Amino acid sequence: MKSVKKIMALALAAALVVVALPGCGSSTPSNTTSNTAPKPNDTLIYAQGAEPRGLDPALVDDGESAKVMSNIYEGLLKYNKDSTKVEPSLAKSWDVSTDGLSYTFHLQQGVKFQDGTEFNADAVKVNIDRQLAPKVTADMNYASFVYGSVKNVEVVDKNTVKVILTSPSTPLLSNLAMIMAAPMVSPKALTDNKNNVNQAPVGTGPYKFVKWEKDQNIVLVRNDEYWGTKALTKNVIFKFIKDNSARVVALSNGEADIIDGIDATVVKQITDAGNKIFQSPGMNISYMAYNTSKKPFNDPKLRTAVSQAINVPELVKSLYQGYSEPANSILPTFMEGYDKSITQVAYDAAAAAKTLKDAGLTSVHMITYTNPRPYNAATGQVLAEAIQGYLAKAGVTVKIDSYDWTTYKAKLKAGDYDLAFYGWIGDNGDPDNFMYLESVDDPSMNIALYKNPEFNKLIAKGVETPAGPERNAIYTQLEKISAAEAVWLPISHAQTLCAYRPNVENFYFHMTGITPFAGVAKK
C-alpha cells in the first residue's frame, strides 16, 4: 500500500493540473489555461473511507457515490440545507391535481448541462423514461422506489413536464429530491456512453467531473457556466483512504481538508491538533440482517434466539462511546411513524443458549465490510467480531468473511451468507424509505431477503395514505411486525461525525448523507 503522504501528493498534483486533464466527460474551463496553477486555497480535499461504486444516479445505491454525485447533478427538487423539506431546484414550481395522480413541473429556463446541451422537458422525460418499463434495467436499484407509482411522463412544452401516476404517492415529491435515481443526466451523455455514465457523469450542478483514478481519487472542477450561484472553491478532490487512523493523520498534516468515517476514539486527537468536529443527529440505522430465505434463519425462533444472545446496549456503548445510541426501532426517533412503544428482541443469554443448543445450531457464516460507514464508524469488521464474541458464549461458532465495500455489495447480491451487516442513511425523511427495505425484491437492499405478503400490503397502503396520524400508524405497525419476526437485529443510530481543518468554512454533511461543496471555502 502506498503511504498516505505519497497518495496525497499525487492528489495535490492532480489538482494543480486539473485544467489540463481531459478526463471522461470533462472539458477545460473557458477562463483558465493549462499553465495557470490554482492557489492552494483553490483546492479542497475530502478524504473518505471507500471508493464510490459509480457516478450514474440510476445505477448506484451507496453513500460514497452520493457524496460525489451531489456536486455534479441536480434534480427537479432539492432538500433544505437543514432538513428534508422539499424546495425548488431545476423545477421552479409545481402543481398537483386534485386526485393526486398528476404532477406538473414548471422548469427553470436557460439551464444547460455541463456538456453544453440544453436542459428542458425532453431531458426530464428521457431521465425518467430510462427508469420505467420497458427501458428500466435490473441494475437500476432505486428506480422502483422513486418511480414505482409513475405511469408515464408527458412533455407539455419546452419548459413544462407532467408526471402521471398509477396511484397517489405521498412520498413522490420527497423522492424527486433524492440523489439516487432522481437527478437529471445529460441525454447526450447517456447516448454517447450507452446509457451508463458511471465513469462519465454529466449533470447541471456546480461542479464538473474531470477524472477518476482508480483506488486514488476523483477530481472535480468548478462549473463556471453554472446557472445558479457559482461554487466558491475551484477544485474538489475526493480522496480514498481506507484506514481511519490514516485519514486522521492526513487531516492533521494538512494533506486533507475534511475527513469522514471517524469514531469516538479519535475525536480528542483531532481537536487537540486544532481541527474541528462536525456533529449532528444521524438519520440512519445500522443493523445485522438474517438471511430469511434459507436454513437456519428461515425459522423466526432461531433468529430470535441469536438476537437474544447479543447485548445491544452494551455493544453500542463499548464501540461508539456515546456517539451512537442503541436502536430500539428501525426508524430514527425524530421520524414520523416512530413510536416509543416499539421494542426489539431483549437480551437473554440463557434463553438464547438453550434454544440454539436444542436446535443443534453450532455454526453460522457471517459476511461483513472492512471500511467505515456513516452509520458505523467502527467498521463492519469490528462490529462482526464483537457479535462473534457474543455468539461464542451462546455456543455458536461464527465464520467471518470480510470484503471491501464494492466487493461486499456483490457478495450481498449473491446471497451466500447466514448473517450480514448493513445500514441505511435516510434518503428523503419519509418512513417509507426505511421500511421499504424489508419489502423490496432487490437483494442489494433487502439483504434479509424477507418476503411477507401482509407486510408488503401495508407498505403499499402507506405510500398511498396522506400524511398524518393514519399514515404514521401504518409505519408503527410495520415496525412491530419486523420486531416480532426478528428480521433484523437493529443495532444503532449513529451521530454524523466529520472533521475539518480550521480554515474550512461553511462545511456541512446533510442528514441524507450528501456533502454539497458549492458554498464551502478555505481561508
Q: For residues 174 and 480, what is the distance between their CA atoms, to the nearest angstrom?
A: 25
Architecture of domain 77-188: Alpha-Beta Complex (3.90)
Q: Give pLDDT tens digits for 2-33.
A: 343 333 444 444 443 333 333 333 333 333 33
Amino acid at 456: N
Per-residue pLDDT, 244: 87
If pLDDT is split at 50, 70 and 90, which confidence band does 406 have? confident
Q: Give pLDDT tens digits for 121-139.
A: 999 999 999 999 999 999 9
Spatial CB neighbours of 284, under 8 Å, sequence gap ≥ 6: 332, 374, 375, 423, 424, 425, 426, 493, 494, 513
284-493 CATH:
3.10.105.10
Spatial CB neighbours of 113, under 8 Å, sequence gap ≥ 6: 119, 123, 184, 186, 188, 189, 202, 203, 204
**Cβ burial, residue 199 (10 Å; 0-12/13-18/19+):** middle
Q: Give pLDDT tens digits for 212-222.
A: 999 999 999 99
Asked whether residue 407 carries a pLDDT value surpassing 90, the answer given is yes
Q: Which residue is listed with cell 430500539?
A: 328
Peptide bond into 134 cis (omega under 30): yes
Q: What is the pTM of this model?
A: 0.82
Q: Which residues pair with 258 in a beta bridge?
A: 46, 500
| Averaged pLDDT, 364-388 | 94
461 CB-side CA count, 13 A? 15
Please state, in angstroms and as integers, the Cα–Cα distance from residue 172 to each residue in 101, 430, 473, following that order.
11, 10, 20
> What does the domain layout of the chain look like in residue ranges?
4-61+194-261+498-522, 77-188, 284-493
Per-residue pLDDT, 377: 86
Among 490, 496, 171, smallest CA distance to 330 is for 490
Query: Do 77-188 and 4-61+194-261+498-522 fall under one CATH topology?
Result: no
Q: What are the residue ranges of helices labelled H in 78-170?
A: 121-129, 143-147
Asked whether residue 493 carries a pLDDT value surpassing 50, the answer given is yes
Per-residue pLDDT, 263: 85
Domain 4-61+194-261+498-522 indexed as CATH 3.40.190.10: yes
Provide the grid cell at 515. 456533502
Per-residue pLDDT, 41: 76
Amino acid at 304: T
Per-residue pLDDT, 20: 37
State the average pLDDT for the chain. Answer: 92
Q: What is the percent of the chain with per-residue pLDDT over 90, rounded to a whole number?
A: 88
